[in-house]
Amino acid sequence: MENIFSQFHGADLERLTDCIAAVRKNGLSIDQYTHAGINDNSGNVWIWNENWVGCVYCSIGFDIQWSWSCGDCGEEYDFDTYQEMDNFVSAQNDLTDCSGCEKCHEVEVAA
């Protein structure tokens, strides 16, 4: 098992704890299927679980956001709350019959 402190330290550790607090605030579970990391490009600290609609991340400015990525086209959508993200994903599933998002649905219609 990897030592969590080998990846997270200093401000990154603080941002990880902010993500954990956001997860707990939304009643989500952290278990053996939960993953955490640091985005090499943005520096964002993130937590994701396969049972959640999307992931939570904390920016280098300590802003908490929720993110969902379309499994078909990879388009990323950010939200201020988990509930906003959950509502959006439900609407996408209704719109596209559980296949993609509004962005790739527009491409299919245009093609």
Nearest C-alpha neighbor of 42 from the set 65, 71, 25, 20: 65
Structure tokens that stand for 68 in this block: 């969902």
Within 10 angstroms of residue 53's Cβ, the number of other Cβ atoms is: 18
Task: Name the DSSP class of 52.
Answer: S
Least confident of 6-10, 21-25, 47-51, 96-100: 96-100
Place of tokens 């439900």: 90
Kindly list the distances between the CA atom of residue 109 and the CA atoms of 85, 101, 105, in Å, as whole numbers in the listed order: 24, 12, 6
pLDDT tens-place string over residues 79-88: 999 999 999 9
∠ Cα 89 44 51 (to 5°):
35
Residues 6+ apart with CB under 8 A from 26: 81, 82, 83
Q: Is 60 exceeded by the pLDDT of residue 53?
A: yes
Interval 86-105 mean pLDDT = 77
Token pair listed for 91:
């609407």
